[in-house]
Chains A and B, each alone.
Chain A
């Protein structure tokens, strides 16, 4: 008895840092509900509380991330790790199993860092501020929790978690057409969750392990023909619903086109990165052989999205919807990297998810700032506003430079890794994706030319430059984009050590190449 007690006493306490990162915003939401918000001062306290409870996880996550990337090989090992039984004795066992490694650490940290920016961008929110900020914090819980979860059940819970807060925020605080967009968002996310649930259940039952632990479910085994494909398709549907790939993208464009800028940023943060992560971490990891079998249709969807999004951005006269289409196009590149299956392309996809969330957020912030003040949607009505809003112009340039993959910003390392890692397997796919990138860049610069440059249009008096919290939020986003662009080398080694495991797992079940033809450099497996 005594030795047992001594052993228990000497055992290290469970690492709570990750739990703090996940649940601090939840505590914040509860605190905000308890605060009064009748006067300006009280509403100010609400905002400060929201900022504080998003800064706490951001700082902890950044510290943890920087500690982890210092030792790149740790990317293959989840740290910190908490594994406790949550629900047992049922059909399957659910665990409170969380941890960070090379695959999830980057998106988790980036989202944790981005949410204070969202709060800062919402600083002018005066109406129903308690409701607004608590919902925003609830969304963060879902997104960060999703990245941290290492149990399928927990992942599912966090996957569905932001659906209601996001649709409420969109419906209540959005512009014209927001109610319809909110309903669509809710439907798609719930259907995605349903697919995820059925896929996970099928996987758990068919493997016979009766557990939702992602580690157990992804231990090498081959599912019977048809079951693996069914599992992968269901998980893929869940991923595509959040990634906003064509044809499941209209909810995304509608949501981002009607939401207020901070809400649009929050929706973007909780859609593309979560979808990309679901595809790579869950779908490909769970059914690797099926992922290889179905790689061509996914590749086709990815390229379709790249071109569809670019063309949509080319023809779209509404700045916010244009930014949404740009995100759809880049989301196609994420899927392209995911079916490249190499550790390089997978790491690139995850990096690109972060770039889309941050760069797209910046574009939405600028577009929203212009549209809200000018009360117009069309580009031509804003022509020549660079002279009145040079800061907004500079921010827009940074945003589109990120989307176009210009160096020193977060978009470049992601796109470069995606293309580099995918090229040996799908050179034509990469060429088509680069063509899509060219059209996207042309669309974005064309929009910049029409909106900011040229002879000033009439009635630009209402256009004011970015100031105050809006400016600080944008500067914080730009700084984050630059950090992720310039210091990519510091993060990639750690990330690749994580994606190595997924790539290796897929490679283990892949048909080995049989012959090699030296004359044209391709092999036939």
Chain B
């Protein structure tokens, strides 16, 4: 039996092993060795995460927290720390640590597993060429950061990780090549930065409103034995939110909770690619082949979902926020599926499907299906990893990732690369949620929540919202399945066009052995995770997560089961009826272009840039150049003129100007001395 102290050390190890590996990789003699070191560190973290998960799942109701105080200092009671006495925190405390509970443990396991798969592919495929070592280090750093986020015991640590993760994502994506990848990385980073700013504001707002001495006093009065950790600790905040809502605390009320939840929702939407921040996954898919499996599956989805999960009580307590989250996520799921249906390149299709699934997971959280949402996230991570690893193998082999160039390549590739195709196929099936595989059962749980209107606690979501969300999710499931079917049909029976099969075969690139096996491993993991996530089964992941919150699991709803079974089949059937050449056309029409052009937040930003930022920046520069700069120039010339005057006067000893000046200055000094200097000084 592992002790708590040992568990703490192992949890710290999970967090920092990838970082240690990154640092050690600089000592490596070759690029391939550097990749191997980062891979080894990540695998070690994976093993440690498995140990932590084992303990956490055995004791699902135990939440273990440990931390190191980053800074701590007393805060004086001045009016400038706050208006009035309401917000005065007696100590400013920042803690960095780990929080081990089933949610954190399972997510840590998922993160390390997906990162290890991406690194394994990099190690096998790179052969030490190119910038593989730099990519591996970036992935290692991003993994550390993401682990810091999923194991974060407080919002400050999440904020710390948020910024670094965005930077890592930007740098990994930007390495996808000149032009398009750079633009995509910039767009994704901009969205991320909007979320980061919202998170900054949320953290500061929460700290100011809920971490003061009065709030702490009110909480300790209601919960005398409750721990008093740092002000942004999730446990402490949850206690304070409840006290604020049920007992009232000066300076904070229900509206305060709503404002805080809205700020967090903006951060979630920007990170997880909810409307209007859609496109995050698609931009992340521009990362180099193989690395997209990391950026798409982990970079954006996990951070967004874990932020909602950790602050779930706030969303429950803030009126209308969970329904808003559910609706927003439902719309995003449909938009993601539609974009996937018109996708022209394989990674982008997979990325949009993954985005749709992550949005469905968030809709699950919004509807109260906490179990289903988290389980869907896990299966999505694995399925997207499998699909993108398979796609990377195929793309590297065929020299292109565009569907038009890959049409009919299934038989070519399958003859030599069954593994890659198996990984791609299993990943697509997992993302489409076909019966029993991937996200099927979690989706049933989400839809069951929509039908039953059950929330673990707090207000219920209205019937209309639930009905709308359920409709959007079912539509998204059908369209998503159609998109996956479209890809498979294009690859299997698509017309290769002017390029003959033999010509293309001659062009095939030899991919190192073993690369495809990584995709197979990910695909099998998707399959297993899909089966294990069955809600209602005692040993399932989701049940443990629900138990940890002391809430019963969701019942298996037969209506939901039937609809989730049928909706993808409808999509598959519709896609199967369309001719392969027409399927390719789906991504080329004017409507598809218009859909693709819907940039959401980036559109808003572009519009703001064109109409506001650009002109304002030009105005600023013109003002500086034509007004403020010359004005300062005149001041400088005046100073020089004065200096010259003094210089001339000194040379000529006595001039009329000097005499006049001296008289004026002397008179002014006299007046000042008599009038001002001899006035009484108050308080002397």
- Indicate if the CB atoms of B200 and A493 lie closer than 8 Å: no
Q: Nearest chain-A residue to B635 (Cβ)?
A: A187
Q: Is the CB of B73 within 8 A of A516?
A: no
Query: Within 8 Å of chain B (Cβ to Cβ): is A446?
Result: yes
CB of A251 closer than 8 Å to a CB of B: yes
Q: Is A52 an interface residue (CB 8 A)?
A: no
Q: Across the A-B interface, how many residue pairs have beta carbons closer than 8 Å?
A: 240
Q: Mark A239-273 against chain B: 1 for CB-CB distance below 8 A, else 0.
A: 00000001111110110000000000000000000
Q: Is B677 on the interface with A (CB-CB < 8 A)?
A: yes
Specify which chain B residues have a CB less than 8 angstroms from the CB of A412 in the assembled complex. 160, 163
Q: Does A525 contact B (CB under 8 A)?
A: yes
| A516 with B250, Cβ < 8 A, contacts A344-B75, A408-B160, A425-B83 known | yes
> In the complex, what residue of chain A is closest to B88 when comparing beta carbons?
A424
Task: Check if B620 sits within 8 Å of A438, measured CB to CB.
Answer: no
Task: Answer whether residue B676 sits at the interface, using C-beta atoms and an 8 A cutoff.
Answer: yes
Within A57-78, the residues touching B (CB, 8 Å) are: 72
- Say whether A401 faces chain B, with CB atoms less than 8 Å apart: yes
- Flag whether A449 is at the interface (Cβ < 8 A): yes
When the two chains form their complex, are residues B80 and A438 in contact, meaning their CB atoms are under 8 A apart? no
Which of B42-50, B202-210, B575-583, B645-653 makes up part of the contact surface?
A: B202-210
Beyond A311-B616, A342-B81, A423-B205, 11 additional contacts (C-beta under 8 Å) are A222-B682, A311-B620, A341-B78, A343-B75, A343-B78, A420-B204, A421-B81, A424-B80, A441-B193, A507-B79, A510-B79
Question: Within 8 Å CB of A345, what residues of B?
Answer: 80
A492 contacts across to B, CB distance below 8 A: 71, 73
Give 29 pairs: A residue, B residue, CB < 8 Å, sorted on A: A188-B636, A208-B681, A208-B684, A221-B681, A221-B683, A223-B682, A246-B628, A250-B628, A250-B629, A311-B613, A311-B619, A312-B617, A342-B80, A344-B75, A407-B160, A419-B200, A421-B80, A423-B205, A424-B81, A430-B204, A435-B197, A438-B193, A449-B185, A493-B71, A497-B73, A503-B80, A507-B76, A523-B83, A525-B83
Question: Once the chains bind, are A224 and B681 in contact (CB under 8 Å)?
Answer: yes
Residues on the A chain within 8 Å of B73, using CB: 72, 492-493, 496-497
CA distance A67 to B679 in the complex (A): 47
Q: Which of B81, B616, B639, B677 has the most CB of A within 10 A?
A: B81
Residues on B with beta carbons closer than 8 Å to the beta carbon of A434: 197, 200-201
Q: Give the CA-CA distance A138 to B620 in the complex, in Å.
A: 35
Known contacts: A187-B639, A419-B200, A516-B86. The answer to whether A205 contacts B677 by CB under 8 A is yes
Interface of A, secondary structure class, is helix
Residue B15 interfacial (CB < 8 Å): no
B547 within 8 A of A: no
Bitwise interface map of B from 609 to 651 toward A, beta carbon under 8 Å scored 1, else 0:
0000110111111001000110111011011100000000000
Residue among A223, A248, A488 making CB contact with B681, cutoff 8 Å: A223
Cα distance, A496 to B93, chains bound together (Å): 13
In the assembled complex, the Cα of A393 lies from the Cα of B671 at a distance in Å of 61
Interface assignment of A476: CB less than 8 Å from any CB of chain B: no
Among the listed B79, B200, B677, which residue makes an inter-chain contact with A512, where contact means beta carbons less than 8 Å apart? B79
**In the complex, how many angstroms separate the beta carbon of B684 from the nearest chain A beta carbon?**
6
**Does residue B109 face the partner (Cβ distance < 8 Å to A)?**
no
Q: Residue A186 at the B interface, CB < 8 A?
A: yes
Question: What is the bound-complex CA distance between A186 and B197, given in angstroms?
Answer: 38
- A residues 151-175 near B (Cβ < 8 Å) are none
Q: Which residues of B contact A250 (CB under 8 A)?
A: 624, 628-629, 632
Let me know if A37 is at the binding interface, CB within 8 A: no
A36–B81 Cα gap in the complex (Å)? 57
Stretch at the interface among A17-25, A93-101, A104-112, A450-458: A450-458
- Separation of A445 and B192 alpha carbons in the complex (Å): 12
**Chain B interface mostly:** helix
In the complex, what residue of chain A is closest to B193 when comparing beta carbons?
A441
> Would you give the shortest CB distance from B291 to chain A, in whole angstroms?
16
Interface string of B553-594 (1 = CB under 8 A from A): 000000000000000000000000000000000000000000
Chain A residue total in the interface (Cβ 8 A): 95
Q: How far is the CA of A246 from the CA of B628 in the complex (A)?
A: 9
A523 to B78, CA, bound (A): 13
The 8 Å CB contact of A425, one of B80, B190, B207, is B80
B171 beta carbon closer than 8 Å to chain A = yes
Interface membership of B221, Cβ < 8 A: no
**Interface contact A222-B683, CB-CB below 8 Å:** yes
A482 on the B face (CB < 8 A): no
CB distance from A423 to the nearest CB of B (A): 5
CB <8 Å contact, B614 and A315: yes
Which residues of A in the span 429-473 have a Cβ within 8 Å of any Cβ on B? 430-431, 434-435, 437-439, 441-442, 445-446, 449, 453-456
B68 closest partner in A (C-beta)? A489
A434–B205 CA distance with the chains assembled, in angstroms:
13
Q: Are A340 and B80 in contact (CB under 8 A)?
A: yes
Which A494-525 residues have a C-beta within 8 angstroms of B? 496-497, 500, 503-504, 506-507, 510-513, 516, 518-519, 521-523, 525
Verify B182–A453 contact, CB threshold 8 A.
yes
Q: Looking at the assembled complex, report how far the CB atom of B293 sits from the nearest CB atom of chain A, in whole angstroms.
A: 22
Tell which of B72, B78, B178, B248 touches A503, judged by Cβ atoms closer than 8 Å. B78
Partner of B193, one of A341, A442, A522: A442
Q: How far is the CA of A455 from the CA of B182 in the complex (A)?
A: 9
A-contact 0/1 string along B211-232, CB 8 Å cutoff: 0000000000000000000000
B170 CB → nearest A CB, Å: 7
Closest to B255 in A: A520
Distance in Å from the Cβ of A314 to the closest Cβ of chain B?
Answer: 4
- Provide the bound-state CA to CA distance between A507 and B613, in Å: 39
Which of B62-86 touch A at CB < 8 Å? 69-73, 75-76, 78-86
Contact A518 B681 (CB under 8 A): no
Q: Is the CB of A312 within 8 A of B186?
A: no
Of all chain A residues, the one with the shortest Cβ separation from B253 is: A519
Listed residue (B79, B82, B92, B178) with the most chain A CB atoms within 10 angstroms of its CB? B79
Partner of A516, one of B72, B85, B640: B85
* Nearest opposing residue in chain A for B163, CB measure: A406
Query: Nearest 3 pairs between A and B by C-beta?
Result: A315-B617, A523-B84, A489-B71
A191 lies within 8 A of B167 (CB): no
CB-contacts of A178-227 with B (<8 A)? 180, 183-184, 186-188, 190-191, 205-208, 220-224, 227
Question: In the complex, how many angstroms separate the beta carbon of B79 from the nearest chain A beta carbon?
Answer: 5
Interface residues of B in 223-272 (CB under 8 A from A): 248, 250-253, 256
Using Cβ atoms and an 8 Å threshold, which residues of chain B touch A72? 73
CA distance A99 to B421 in the complex (A): 71
- Mask for A401-429, Cβ within 8 A of B = 1, else 0? 10011111000100010011101110100
A28 within 8 Å of B (CB atoms): no
Which A residues lie within 8 Å of B182 (CB)?
A: 449, 453-454
Q: Which residues of B contact A315 (CB under 8 A)?
A: 614, 617-618, 620-621
Asked if B299 is at the interface (CB within 8 A of a chain A CB), the reply is no
B498 located at the interface, meaning its Cβ lies under 8 Å from any Cβ of chain A in the complex: no
> Do A384 and B178 touch (CB < 8 A)?
yes
Given contacts A187-B636, A221-B681, contact A247 B628 (CB under 8 A): yes
Give the CA-CA distance A435 to B200 in the complex, in Å.
11
**What per-residue 1/0 map shows which CB atoms of A323-357 lie under 8 Å from chain B?**
00000000000000000111111000000000000
